[in-house]
């Protein structure tokens, strides 16, 4: 048999594609020629070795793919944890900022301040003092606001004093954040006519709320210690 035909026959045998007639012919050659038999055995061993190496390489590649997938899963999980942590920190920060704007003494005083000067019967001078007091309050110049309200009170009849006393009380609270003093004055205002009885009752509920206590006992002192270091 020619070398070319013999090589093709052995290749078909190794690949499992050999026809029954060709297999019989190959077996006959192996029996009749020890060299051909040895060649087939060596080819078979080489083929099995190559298959084994290919299997190992395939396993190696699959392992790398698996490790890569695990790293992707870990990174994805880490990114999710970082996202939720940042979201949590953002929520805490937003809550603190909201509390500082809602429960801080000056913010409370600002919400309850009476701006309408139409009920003050002191003429232009008294109304100017009242409006200047409001302006100083909103500029956070609380001492100057107190002086303006006091000047307005000196020109006002008794009926006008309630709105001035109310704004003076709130300005003092914005300046000192003295809860006890505010409670005492609110108790007096609750005995007056509307709208002061309603406003004082609402303000009293606010300063007695648990969130107000938490903010002024825990959060506000921490913010006060941080602000100087940030400046």
Kindly state the DSSP code that residue 104 receives in the 8-state scheme: S
- Looking at 4-8, 48-52, 187-191, which range is the least confident one? 4-8
111: Cα separation from own chain's centroid: 29
Residue 231, pLDDT above cutoff 70: no
CA torsion angle 36 38 41 43 (round to 10)? -70
DSSP letters spanning 109-177: HHHH-----TT--SHHHHHHHHHHHHHHHHTT-HHHHHHHHHHHHHTS-HHHHHHHHHHHHHHHHHHH-
Give the residue carrying structure tokens 């801080």: 104
Count of residues for the chain? 231
Q: Are 174 and 112 in contact (CB under 8 A)?
A: no
User: Rounded to whole angstroms, what are the CA distances from 195 to 10, 162, 207?
Assistant: 109, 10, 18
Of 36 and 138, more confident: 138
| Per-residue model confidence (pLDDT) at position 159 | 57
Q: With a cut of 90, say whether residue 203 has pLDDT above it.
A: yes
DSSP 115: -
Angle, alpha carbons 157-158-162 (nearest 5°): 115
pLDDT at 75 > cutoff 60: yes
> What is the pLDDT averaged over residues 71-89?
78
Q: Name every residue whose Cβ is closer than 8 Å to that of residue 10 and which is 6 or more positions away in sequence.
A: 26, 39, 40, 43
Phi-psi region of 123 (alpha: psi -120 to 50; beta: other; left: phi over 0): left
pLDDT per position as a tens digit, 87-141: 888 888 787 777 767 888 999 999 999 988 776 777 788 888 999 999 999 999 9
pLDDT-derived band at 67, boundaries 50, 70, 90: confident
Token pair in block for residue 152: 């307005």
- The pLDDT of residue 113: 93
């Amino acid at each position: 048999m020619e070398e070319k035909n013999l090589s093709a026959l052995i290749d078909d045998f190794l690949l499992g594609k050999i026809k029954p007639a060709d297999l019989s012919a190959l077996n006959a050659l192996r029996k009749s020629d020890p060299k051909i038999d040895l060649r087939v055995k060596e080819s078979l061993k080489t083929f099995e070795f190559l298959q084994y190496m290919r299997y190992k390489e395939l396993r190696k590649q699959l392992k790398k793919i698996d490790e890569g997938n695990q790293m992707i899963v870990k990174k994805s999980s880490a990114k999710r944890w970082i996202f939720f942590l940042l979201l949590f920190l953002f929520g805490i920060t937003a809550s603190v900022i909201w509390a500082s704007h809602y429960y801080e003494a000056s913010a409370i005083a600002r919400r309850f301040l009476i701006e309408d000067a139409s009920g003050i019967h002191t003429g232009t001078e008294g109304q100017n003092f009242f409006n200047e007091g409001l302006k100083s309050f909103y500029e956070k110049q609380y001492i100057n606001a107190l002086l303006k309200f006091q000047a307005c009170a000196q020109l006002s009849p008794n009926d006008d004093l309630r709105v001035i006393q109310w704004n003076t009380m709130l300005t003092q609270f914005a300046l000192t954040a003295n809860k006890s003093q505010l409670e005492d004055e609110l108790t007096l205002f609750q005995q007056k006519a509307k709208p002061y009885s309603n406003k004082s009752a609402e303000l009293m509920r606010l300063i007695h709320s648990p969130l107000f206590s938490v903010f002024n006992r825990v959060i506000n002192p921490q913010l006060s210690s941080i602000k100087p270091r940030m400046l």
